Structure 1
Amino acid sequence: MNKNVRPIVWIILIFAIVILLIPTLLVLPFSSKHELKGKEVKLKAITSHEHSTSDLAVAVYRTGEKKTEKVPLEDYIQGVVASEMPAEFEMEALKAQALTARTFVVKRLLHPSTTLPNHAVLTDSISDQVYKSKAELKKQWGKDYDRKMKKIARAVKETQGEILTYKGEPITASFFSTSNGYTENSKDYWGSSYPYLKSVKSPWDLDSPKYVQQEAIPLSTFEQKLGVTIENDGVVGTVEAKTEGNRIGKIVIDGKKFTGREIREKLQLRSADFTLIKKGDKVIASTRGYGHGVGMSQYGANGMAKEGKTYKDIVSYYYKGVSITNYTPSDIRAMAKK
């Protein structure tokens, strides 16, 4: 090749390379900056929403109006806590109640009922959790509404997003009013065993106004509901077994065998810890405790709170081996899709 031609060839090659590289060099810094900015915006969006359950709504079947109402999750929790536990209770007890209420509804969101009308997730009655709207509570509480609601709202706010889990799954967060001094094993009452629903001592309940109660049942009503005949005055039935929670396990009345739960439900007694005595044309039922006895005792929780225990202490005592877990809307939606 001619010596004068070589420099010209090299100049052309270098010029071509520069022409090819310039667009890349110009675009690269701008595209990188734009891409990074996009990631930052996305991260902020995730951060601002993922740590709150406030954008979830619960479809609640209002039994009185016979319609389904969508309620923001944390508003729903406030309505449940206000309806299920006295606002006069200690703050830590109210927080424990907020955890049970939130856990209950999150579990239901993950496993919705197929029997409720209008795509409702749960009802506002004791068959699920009692729920009242702010308007209903205002009517019920009158001039005390602002004071009570402020306290309830604080308990819910300070536990926002927290639920109770066992091995990563929301628990069956059952609760009741007053124990007989012990909670009940889930298997002894429901026939289903949950490792976290075990019998524990609950001595604080002795101070509950619902600890001991009596009611007189007409003899004819008693006999009709149980399908038995009672002739003589005195103690009715022979107790054959007690549960670990010191409630009636099995009882024989007029030759028929019943569980304590059966008697409680047939006669609508306050507890499965009962004694029955016939006096003339009536049967006197004496009960200790109020409720099924499985899970957290509300009066027990309040007693623990009065002793300085936190809501975390309370739920850890009544629900064995559980964890307090922070759940976000995306967590719940992701689990619901599985």
Structure 2
Amino acid sequence: MIDDRFIYLKIYSSNEKKVIIKKLDEIVKYVAAAQLPNSIENIHPEFVKVQVILARTNLARKMRMFGGKGCLKYSDCDICDEGHCITILYDDELKRIWKDRYNKIISIIEESIKATEGLVITMNNRPIIAEFHNTCGGATENSENVIGNRVMYLRKVLCDYCLNSPNWEGYKEISIEEIEEKLKVRFPNLTPTLKIDMKGFIEEIDRDDEGRITSIKIGGKVFKGTEVKEILGLDSTRFSIAPKILGVKTRGQGDGLGLCQYGANQMALMGFKFDDIINYYFTGVEIRKIEKPCIKKPLKEKILVIDPGHGGDDNIGAEGPGGLREKDVVLKISKRLKEFLENLGATVYLTRDEDEYVSLNKRAELANKIRPNFFISIHLNSFSNSLIRGCEMYYYKGDRESLGLAKCIMNSMVKNLDVINRGIKVAAFFLLREVGTSSLHIDIDYVTNPEVEKLLKNNEYIDKIAESITQGIVEYYKF
């Protein structure tokens, strides 16, 4: 039975082969347990609180009710337990891993969940990507050096708290054959006269005209070729040296993004509280209690950018047979849409709120600065055949969230406006391509159709369009 006091998520159960509903913190328990390093013997409760908050944050970020993408494999659920959404380990597997420590660890996790009830890490009112790794080896990493783009809260911080981690330094020997196979490279075949230098090991090899080594520098010391032949018991001074095994020395374990687990546990042992630890490793974030969207404000904390297409004297867009201009209609729709969305708790930005020219670059820059849940561009369509009418929507290839939103909005418009569904299609329009968040382009209808033009001149119909889009957005986020 659903209890309104709790937040629930939809999870595809691989055991039951269906989507089931679970309390958020019930899954937090098993996600946090899976993420705790078994190699830390003295796990401090304050560090466990940190890991619980990270687990809750990453789950909330995936949940559709909080603006997440949901599971990319199974529809109509927030996550699955197959491992590609987030790692979840249940009791049997945890008992195998933790052995006689299982009861103690689970007890600490359960207490940590109670002590941090509802807390998540946010930036701009949105759950962050709560990255973590085992051991940073002296410093965490800037996001652009790992994932290719700058994330404000994933900045490099110095850390010597993990100095005593067993993963502070590591060593691994890798054969040349394995390197060739895995890196898809080919080293030269070893021949008696192969020219090969390994700086600091074997270098400055001099040969005579017949290929015999006259001198060679090994480990910083110069030898005659004859000396090496005698000392190493070689058959000839015509020789080459190449490794069969490479030794690789590492420091730290993991990609270095976000929280260093060994460092965080050491900070806890030194008396730091969970919020101190989180704020040390994540730059400029806020720890706050996540709230279930209320019935009256179902879009609370959702951030949307609405883009009224065209604008200005030289960019009127399509024009109807009676002179109705696209730029004017879409601005009306967008302003009313903003009002309806804000009444339901959303934060809404318009790329223009008057009849002015705003370049596509400026629109994209605004959206990328705000980083909304969705960027929605509003347009009207046109065609030489005045009988053509209907709504079309476009999204960028691979953007499953915008496809899902488009379906909800289209269903709402067809139901409420009796508009013709002309399809949801993939496109590479500039704004779909350049805006860094999920983006949707909506062609409301064909203004070149006289009947449609007449409807679009009616303010009540404009309101119905805005209401229909709003209902579609609410339906998308509906639990």
Give the TM-score normalised by structure 1.
0.65
After superposition, the C-alpha distances for 1:118-147 in whole angstroms (9 at most, x for unaligned) are 544334466443211234324544444322
Quote the Cα distance in structure 1 between the aligned partners of 2:12 and 2:172: 34
In the other structure, the counterpart of 1:133 is 90
Q: Name the residue aligned to 1:203.
A: 160
Once residues 179 and 71 of structure 1 are traced to their aligned partners in structure 2, the CA distance between those partners, rounded to angstroms, is 34
Task: Quote the Cα distance in structure 1 between the aligned partners of 2:17 and 2:178.
Answer: 32
Residue aligning to 1:98:
52
Alignment counterpart, residue 107 of structure 1, candidates 35, 46, 61 = 61
1:151-184 superposed Cα distances (whole Å, 9 cap, x missing partner): 1111111111010111211111111111020000
- Map Cα deviations across residues 78-111 of structure 1 (whole Å, 9 max, x no partner): 1111111147411111111111111111111122
* Closer, same or farther: CA 140–205 of 1 in aligned 2, 3 Å: closer
> What SS does the aligned partner of 1:117 have?
coil
**Separation in 1, partners of 2:100, 2:48:** 21
Closer, same or farther: CA 234–127 of 1 in aligned 2, 3 Å: farther
- The counterpart of 2:290, out of the listed 311, 314, 327, is 327
Question: Paired residue for 2:36?
Answer: 85
State the 1:61 CA deviation.
5.5
Q: Secondary structure at the match of 1:203?
A: coil
Partners of 2:160 and 2:263 within 8 A in 1: yes
Letter in 2 for 1:193: R
Query: Which of residues 135, 138, 152 is equivalent to 1:178?
Result: 135
Aligned counterparts of 1:220 and 1:333: Cα–Cα separation in 2: 58
Equivalent position of 2:247 in the other structure: 284
1:229 and 2:186 aligned: yes
> Distance between the aligned counterparts of 2:58 and 2:121, measured in 1?
9
Contact 2:62 / 2:71 at 8 angstroms: preserved in 1? no
Count of aligned positions: 246
Unaligned runs of at least 5 residues, structure 2: 189-195, 201-240, 303-473
Deviation of the 1:320 alpha carbon: 0.7
Q: Does structure 2 conserve the Cα–Cα contact (< 8 Å) formed by 1:233 and 1:280?
A: no
Residue 276 (structure 2) pairs with residue 294 (structure 1):
no
CA contact (8 A) 1:92 1:305 kept: yes
Residue identity in the other structure for 2:25: E
Gap change, CA 1:146 and 1:224, over 3 Å in 2: closer
User: Is 2:23 the counterpart of 1:72?
Assistant: yes
Out of 11, 20, 31, the position equivalent to 1:59 is 11
State the distance in 2 between where 1:333 and 1:113 align.
17
Distance 1:141 1:179, change over 3 A: closer
Partner of 2:408: none
SS for the counterpart of 1:205 is coil
* Residue among 148, 151, 170 paired with 1:194: 151
The gaps in structure 1 that reach 5 residues or longer are 1-47, 237-277
Which stretch of structure 1 is more off in the superposition, 127-136 or 70-79?
A: 127-136
Taking structure 1 as reference, are residues 128 and 205 closer, same or farther at Cα in structure 2, changes over 3 Å only?
farther
**2:117 maps to 1:154:** no
Structure ranking higher in helix proportion:
1
Identity across the alignment (%): 28
Counterpart-to-counterpart distance in 1, 2:277 and 2:83: 23
CA apart distance, 1:280: 2.7
What is the CA-CA distance between 1:327 and the residue it aligns to? 1.1
Residue matched to 1:245: none
Aligned to 1:306: 269
What do you get for the CA RMSD once the two structures are aligned? 3.0
Counterpart-to-counterpart distance in 1, 2:49 and 2:298: 25
Q: CA deviation at 1:199?
A: 0.1
Q: Is the 8 A contact 2:74 2:80 kept in 1?
A: no
TM-score normalised by structure 2 residue count: 0.47
Q: RCO higher in 1 or 2 (8 Å CA, sep ≥ 6)?
A: 1
How far apart in 2 are the matches of 1:79 and 1:178?
Answer: 22
Measure, in 2, the Cα distance between the counterparts of 1:329 and 1:177: 32
Q: Which amino acid aligns with 1:287?
A: T
- 1:163 and 2:163 are equivalent in the alignment: no
